[in-house]
Amino acid sequence: MQNIDPHVHSLHNSHGQADPNKIIEAALANGLDGIVIVEHNSYDASARWEQYKNSDLLIMRGVEYTSDLGHILIYGIESDKYIPRPNLPFAEIGALAERLNWAIVAAHPFTRPGVYARNSEKRIPSIHALEVNLKASAINNLDTVTLATKQGIKLIAGSDARDERTVGGYSTGFFNRVSNVQELAQEIRNRDFTMIVTPDAKTKLMIDRTSEQPSYQ
| Residue (71 or 128) nearer to Zn ion, CB | 71
| Residue (71 or 154) nearer to Zn ion, CB | 71
Q: What is the DSSP string of the chain?
A: -EEEEEEE--EETTTEE--HHHHHHHHHHTT-SEEEEEEET-SGGGGGGGGGTTSSSEEEEEEEEE-SS-EEEEES---STT-SSS---HHHHHHHHHHHT-EEEESSTTSTTBTTTSS-----TT--EEEEETTS-HHHHHHHHHHHHHHT-EEEEE--BSSTTTTTSEEEEESS---SHHHHHHHHHTT-EEEEE-HHHHHHHHHHHHHHSPP--
| Residue (5 or 64) nearer to Zn ion, CB | 64
Question: Shortest gap between Cβ of 54 and Zn ion (angstroms)?
Answer: 26
Which residues of this protein are in contact with Zn ion, per CB under 5 A? 64, 71, 107, 160
d(CA 180, CA 183): 6
| Residue (42 or 192) nearer to Zn ion, CB | 42
Question: Shortest gap between Cβ of 21 and Zn ion (angstroms)?
Answer: 21
Question: Shortest gap between Cβ of 102 and Zn ion (angstroms)?
Answer: 17
The residue whose Cβ lies closest to Zn ion is 71
Count Cα neighbours of 23 within 13 Å in the Cβ-side half-sphere.
Answer: 25
| Residue (89 or 113) nearer to Zn ion, CB | 113
Question: Shortest gap between Cβ of 55 and Zn ion (angstroms)?
Answer: 22
Question: Shortest gap between Cβ of 113 and Zn ion (angstroms)?
Answer: 7
